[in-house]
Structure 1
C-alpha cells in the first residue's frame, strides 16, 4: 500500500511522526502527574528543602551541639572497618558503650566515598524525606488523593521533623522511616512486612526495643478479632524480641563497651544525677498538645496505633529531663510518623460514623492539619529558607575556616562545639576538659568573651604539664599550639 495515499490530505509522513512523538511525550507527562507518584514527588521536594536547611546551617558554622562530630567520628571509623571510637566522648571511647546504634554503620560505605560531615547531613535529609512516602501513600489509599497529599504535606512540614532536620545529625533519622514503613504495613494489614520493618528498630537505639514491643501489641490487637493462627503468635514473639533486645543492650552490650562497665544514662531515670526530678505540669501538657493538636486535631486518640508512641513518652516521664519536653529539640521526630498514621487510621475509621459532627470534622481535618503545619512553619526552621542570609557564608566564617585549616591533618585537637564540624573529618578531636590525660597538639575554642591570654591560661589549667602558645585567633575563635 502506498504510504502517502494513506495519509490525510495536506499531511506528510514527517508530520505524522512528529505528531506521534508529541503524543507520546504528553502521555508520559500525564503519567508523571499521576496520583501514584505523588508520594515520591513530595519526598523529592522535602529532600531538597531538608538538605538545603542542613547544609546551609553547616556552611554558616551554626551547629547546635557536638552530636554531628560524635557521629562523624564513629561513622568515619566504620567506613575504614575500625572500632567505632568517638574521642569526643572520651579518648578511645567506643560509641557502642554510650548508645547502641550500630545501624549508623550503614552510612560507612557512603562516607568512604564522600568523606565529610555534609555526607551525614544529606543522608539524614534523604531518610527523613523518604519517610513521607509511606505516610502519603497509605493516606491517599485510605482517604483519597487530595486528603492523602494534605496529610503528607502536613507530615513533612511538622514541627517534630523540622526540628530534627535542623539539629545537625542524630541516629533517629533511621527510626523515622522504619516506623513510617512499618505502620503503613500495619494499616494495609501486611503483617509480615510490618514486623520486618519493626525488628531493625532495635539497632537504632537501646530504648527502641520497647517501641518494637508496642508495635507487636498493636498487631496483636488488630489481628485478634480475625483469630489469625499465624500472625498473632508472631506478633507476641515480636513483643518478646523487643523487650529482650533492649534488656540485652542496656544490661550487657553497652556496659561491655563502656569503660565504667555500666550505662551512663541510668542517672537520668527518676530525677537522678543533675535532674530536678520534676517536670512542671504545664510543660508536659503543652508538649503533649503540640504532639497531638496541630498534627492530628486530637483525632489520633481514636486509633490504637497511638500506642506505639507510648514507650517514647514513657521514657520522658521516667527521666524527668527537661530537654525531652518542649519543641526545641529533635526528640519528638520519632513521634511524627506515629501520630500522622494514627490520624490516617482514625480518619478512615470515622468515615462511616453515625455521628454527623464527627464525620464532618474528619472530612475537614486533613486540610486543617496541612494548613496548620504550613502556618506554623513561619516560626520553624524551614522558614529560614526564605531568608537571603541563610544561603550566604559570612566573611567571619571564612576567616575561621582559614584559621582551623592551618591545623594539620591527623593532629590531636581539644575543642568545644564551634570548631568541631571543621575538624572531625581529618583530626583526632577531643572534647574540651575531657581529654583525660591526653595532651593534644592544639586546643581550638569558640570563646567570644575571652582574650588570647585567657585562652592560653585556660590551656595551662587544663594541661599543667604542657606549654601552649598562641597559634591564631579570629571572630571569637582561638587556637593555641603545644610547644
Structure 2
C-alpha cells in the first residue's frame, strides 16, 4: 500500500493509458482495420495450441516455430481457454506495453533520483511514436520485449540476479533474435557495473539460446520446400543458414561492414537515433545497450 501511495501518479498514468489504448484497439478491430495476416497467424497458432494442435498455422510454415521461435506465446494459451479470439491478443498487448512503463519508471527514478522527472520520462515513453505505432500494428511478440528487458535491467540495478535471469529468459523467449540484442546488456554489466561473472554469464546464455533457437529449433520446425528462415527474413543476403552467416562474419568482415554502412542502413540508424535526439551518442557506455547486431534496414519498416 505504501508503494501505491508513493507512486500514485505512475499508477494513474498506466491505468489511463491502458484504458485509452484498449478502447482504440477494440474500435480498430471492430472497424476492420487490423491486418488479416499477422494477427491471424498468431491467433490461429495459439487457438490451435489451446485445442491440442501445437502451434499449427495455415500461413507460411504449417508450424509457427518454423518461422520464429517464440515460446513466450505459450503463456497466452490459458487466456484462450477463457476467450478464444484475436481480441485477446490485442488487449494483452496493450497490457504488456502498459506494464513496461512500471520498470521504466523505477529505472528513471534510480537514475535521476527524482520522481517527477521519472514520471515525465515515463509519459514520453508511453507516447513515443515508434512504441504506439508498434502497439497499433496488430499483434507481435516484440511488443512484450520492453516489459521483460526493462524488468531485467531493474533487477540488475538491484543486484537481484535470480529475477534478472528469469526476465532475461522471458525476453529471449519472445523471439530467437532477442538473444543477440541482449549480448550488449551483458557487456554493459561487465563495463559499467563491474559484474564480470553475471555479464559474461549473460553473454554465454544469450549465445547458447540463439544457437539452439536459430540453429536447431527453427530449422527443426521448418517445412521442407519453403524459403528458409534466414533466406526469408534474417540477414538472408549474408547466408542461407546460421553457419554461413557466422563464417561470413569471420572471413569477410568488410562485406558485413558494407551492409551496415549502405545508404538504406544508415538511414535506418539515423531514424532510430534521431527519434531520441541522438542523446544515446552522448553516453558511449549506455549507447552500448543499443548496439545489438540487428539489420538497420528493418528500422525503416518496423514500428
State the TM-score, normalized to the length of structure 2.
0.82
Asked which structure has the greater CA Rg, the reply is: 1
| 1:192–1:223 CA distance, 2 compared to 1 (3 A) | farther
| Separation of aligned partners in 1, 2:180 and 2:261 | 25
Aligned partners of 2:52 and 2:184: how far apart in 1? 34
Q: Which moves more between the two structures, 299-308 or 38-47?
A: 299-308
**CA deviation string 1:160-219 (max 9, x = no partner):** 211111110011122121011122233444444333321222211111111232222211
Which of 264, 270, 280 is the aligned partner of 1:300?
A: 280
In structure 2, the residue corresponding to 1:271 is in which secondary structure? helix
2:252 maps to which residue? none
Instruction: For residue 98 of structure 1, report the CA deviation from its aligned partner.
Output: 1.1
More helix by share: 2
2 CA distance for matches of 1:117 and 1:201?
22
Pair 1:82–1:305, CA change in 2 (3 A): farther
Q: CA deviation at 1:253?
A: 1.2
Query: What secondary structure sits across from 2:228 in the alignment?
Result: coil
2:203 and 2:184 mapped to 1: Cα distance? Answer: 7
Evaluate the alpha carbon distance shift between residue 146 and residue 285 of structure 1 in structure 2; reply closer, same or farther with a 3 A threshold: farther
2:177 equivalent in structure 1: 207
Residue 152 (structure 1) shift: 0.1
Aligned mates of 1:187, 1:217 — CA distance in 2: 15
Q: CA deviation at 1:244?
A: 1.3
Partner of 2:54: 83
Correspondence list, 1:95-174, <5 A: 95-143=64-112, 144-174=114-144
Query: Contact (CA 8 Å) 2:103, 2:151: kept in 1 or not?
Result: yes
**Alignment correspondent of 1:271:** 237
Is it true that 1:316 corresponds to 2:295 in the alignment? yes
Residues 1:57 and 2:25 are matched in the alignment: no
Unaligned runs of 5+ in 1: 1-27, 225-230, 331-483
1:311-390 equivalence runs, <5 A: 311=292, 314-317=293-296, 322=297, 324-326=298-300, 329-330=302-303
5+ residue gaps, structure 2: 240-257
* SS of alignment partner, residue 99 of structure 1: coil
Separation in 1 of the partners of 2:226 and 2:37?
22
Structure 2 CA distance for partners of 1:272 and 1:59, relative to 1, 3 Å: farther
1:260 is aligned to 2:248: no
Q: Is the contact made by 2:4 and 2:11 (CA closer than 8 Å) also made in structure 1?
A: no
Q: Are 1:167 and 1:329, in contact at CA under 8 Å, matched by a contact in 2?
A: no
Contact preservation (8 Å) 1:202, 1:209: yes
Aligned to 2:155, what secondary structure does the other structure show?
A: helix
Instruction: Specify the alignment match of 1:181 in structure 2.
Output: 151
SS at match of 1:87: coil
**Aligned partners of 2:265 and 2:295 also within 8 Å:** no
How far did 1:325 drift? 2.9
**Bigger mean CA offset, 56-65 vs 186-195:** 186-195
Partner of 2:251: none
Question: CA 1:221–1:107 in 2, change beyond 3 Å: closer, same or farther?
Answer: same
CA drift of 1:247 comes to 1.0
In structure 2, what is the Cα distance between the partners aligned to 1:142 and 1:35?
18
- 1:243 paired to 2:222: no
CA apart distance, 1:156: 0.3
Aligned positions, number: 281
Following the alignment from structure 2 to structure 1, what is the Cα–Cα distance between the partners of residues 32 and 238? 34
Q: CA RMSD in A?
A: 2.8
Once the 2 structures are TM-superposed, how far is the Cα of residue 286 of structure 1 from its aligned partner?
4.4
CA pair 163-279 structure 1, distance change in 2 beyond 3 A: farther
Moved more, 249-258 or 194-203: 194-203
Say which structure is richer in strand.
Answer: 1
Residue among 286, 290, 313 paired with 2:271: 290
